[in-house]
Chains A and B, each alone.
Chain A
Amino acid sequence: MSLTSLISISLGAILVENYVLVQFLGICPFLGVSKKTDTAVGMSFAVIFVMTLASAVTYLVNEYLLVLLNLEYMQTVVFILVIAVLVQLVEMFLQKAVPALYQALGIYLPLITTNCAVLGVALLNVVSEYTFIESVVNGFASAVGFSLALLLFSTIRERLEVSADIPKAFEGIPIALVSSALLAMSFMGFSGLKVF
Chain B
Amino acid sequence: MKGILKQLREGIWEQNPIMVLLLGMCATLATSTSVVNGLGMGISTTVVLICSNVVISLLRKVIPNQIRIASYVVIIAGFVSAVDMLLQAYLPDISNSLGIFIPLIVVNCIILARAEAYASQNGVLKSAIDGLGMGLGFTFTLLLMSIIREILGNGTLFSGLPFELDLTFGGKIQPAMLMIMPVGGFLTLGFIIAGKQKITMIQNNRKRKISKSEGGQS
A80 contacts B106, C-beta separation under 8 Å: yes
Q: Is the CB of A81 within 8 A of B190?
A: no
**Is the CB–CB distance between B186 and A180 below 8 Å?**
yes
Stretch at the interface among B6-14, B23-31, B136-144, B159-167: B23-31
Q: With a CB–CB cut-off of 8 A, which chain A residues contact B107?
A: 80, 113-116, 119
Tell me the chain B residues, 174-194 only, with Cβ under 8 Å from chain A: 178, 181-187, 189-191, 193-194
Instruction: List residues of chain B with CB within 8 A of the CB of A67.
Output: none
Return chain B residues, CB-CB under 8 Å to A28: 23, 25-26, 109
Q: Which of A84, A119, A167, A176 contacts B104 (CB 8 A)?
A: A119
Stretch at the interface among B49-57, B70-78, B150-158, B210-218: B70-78
Q: Which of A31, A114, A119, A167 contacts B112 (CB 8 A)?
A: A114
Contact A76 B187 (CB under 8 A): no
Question: In the bound complex, do residue A174 and residue B194 qualify as a contact, i.e. CB atoms below 8 Å apart?
Answer: yes
Nearest B residue to A117 via CB reads B26
CB pair B187–A114 under 8 Å, yes or no, is no
CB contacts (< 8 Å) of B85 on chain A: these are 73
Give the dominant DSSP class at A's interface: helix
Interface Cβ pair total, 8 Å cutoff: 116
Query: Is A76 in contact with B80, judged by CB distance below 8 angstroms?
Result: yes
Q: Which residue of A lies closest to B77 (CB)?
A: A77
User: Inside 8 A of B22's CB, which chain A residues have their CB?
Assistant: 31, 173
Partner of B106, one of A27, A76, A171, A188: A76
Tell me, yes or no, whether B195 is within 8 Å of chain A by CB. Answer: yes
**List of A residues within 8 angstroms of B185 by Cβ:** 24, 181
Q: Say yes or no: A181-B26 contact (C-beta < 8 A), given A76-B80, A114-B109.
A: no
Q: How far is the CB of A156 from chain B (nearest CB, A)?
A: 13
Which residues of B, 71-107, contact A by the 8 Å Cβ criterion? 73-74, 77-78, 80-81, 84-85, 100, 103-104, 106-107
- Chain A residue numbers with a CB within 8 Å of B194 are 167, 169-170, 174
- Bound together, the chains give a CA A126 to CA B112 distance in angstroms of 25
Residue of B nearest to A181 (CB): B186
Residues of A within 8 A of B108 (CB): 116
Q: Are A27 and B25 in contact (CB under 8 A)?
A: yes
Q: Residues 103-120 of chain A: 1 if any B CB is under 8 Å from the residue's CB, otherwise 0?
A: 000000000011110011
Contact: A24 with B30, CB < 8 Å?
Answer: yes
Give A125-147 as 1s and 0s: 1 = Cβ < 8 Å from B's Cβ atoms. 00100000000000000000000
Contacts of A84 in B (CB 8 A): 69-70, 73
Q: Is B198 an interface residue (CB 8 A)?
A: yes
User: How many angstroms from the CA of A167 to the CA of B185 in the assembled complex?
Assistant: 21
A124 within 8 A of B: yes
> For B187, what are the chain A residues with a Cβ–Cβ distance below 8 Å?
177-178, 181
Question: CB-nearest residue of chain B relative to A88?
Answer: B70
Q: Which of B26, B181, B186 contacts A178 (CB 8 A)?
A: B186
CB of A100 within 8 A of chain B? no
CB of A194 to closest CB in B, whole Å: 19
Cα separation A23 to B184 with both chains bound (whole Å): 13
A27 touches B193 (CB 8 A): no
What is the CA–CA distance of A169 and B26 in the complex, to the nearest angstrom?
Answer: 23
CB < 8 Å: which of A113, A178, A188 contacts B190? A178
CB of A31 within 8 A of CB of B25, answer: yes
Most chain A CB atoms below 10 A, which of B108, B112, B182: B182
A-B contact pairs, 8 of them (CB 8 A): A24-B185, A77-B81, A114-B107, A114-B109, A115-B107, A174-B194, A178-B187, A185-B183
Which residues in A have some Cβ–Cβ distance to B below 8 Å?
21-28, 31, 73-77, 80-81, 84, 113-116, 119-120, 123-124, 127, 167-178, 180-181, 184-185, 188
